Structure 1
Amino acid sequence: MPSTIILVRVFVETSQIELCEQAAVSVISMFEQCVGLSRKSINTYWKSPQYIEIFLEFIPKEDSDAAFQHIVDELGQGWNFRQSSLEKWAVWTPSELNKFSISDVRWASVDLIQESPFSSIM
């Protein structure tokens, strides 16, 4: 059975990594009923040092599509959605109408990635 992961990337305009650590803990706790955390990193973004990147990798506990939708619904409003045969993703950028659960976010994405059933053959 193919495995599925959900990747969350949030770019916050701040120099205070501690605030991003606290935000990550809050985000993780918001979703612990539908996903398990498999990886977390919080670092200064190499392309733009004024941003801190929060990277979270989750494994859905049950319905991956429902977990994906729950995450985007809780994180913010104003997502742009796309989908392919093995991926679904949402991208968020700030605007007057778009809202996000963490302050000073400049860009965010949530990706639902299903491993190809053929990837284990190679």
Structure 2
Amino acid sequence: MAIMITDECINCGACEPECPNTAIYEGGMEWTWAGGTKLKEVEMEDGTVVDAHLKQAPLSDEYYYIVSSKCTECTGFHEEPQCAAVCPVDCCVDDPDYRETVEELEAKKAFLHAE
């Protein structure tokens, strides 16, 4: 499953540089699929293809957030999610809305970091 940041976030920013997928963004900041990846295009669930550099609306205006579609729980990079490991208030937790198997997380990593 992906990791999420709860509203207990103190906006310290410790998590952001730890993410190998660049899935963590400061509140109010736009995000892109291409950020931290080599993606040029992304095919959405409905079949439409979007430019990976196209800016997306922030998922939170108040505190740091994680783009679940880019989060792999650090699978293939680290033994545990690094955002949770460095969070001083333990607000990086499992996201119950995004349950994924290890195989699905590995496939997501391969997709995000394809050469």
The bucket for the TM-score relative to the shorter chain is under 0.3
Structure with the largest fraction of strand: 1
> Larger radius of gyration, structure 1 or 2?
1
Higher relative contact order (CA 8 A, sep 6+): 2
Q: What TM-score do you get using the length of structure 2 for normalisation?
A: 0.28
Q: Structure 1 length as normaliser, TM-score?
A: 0.27
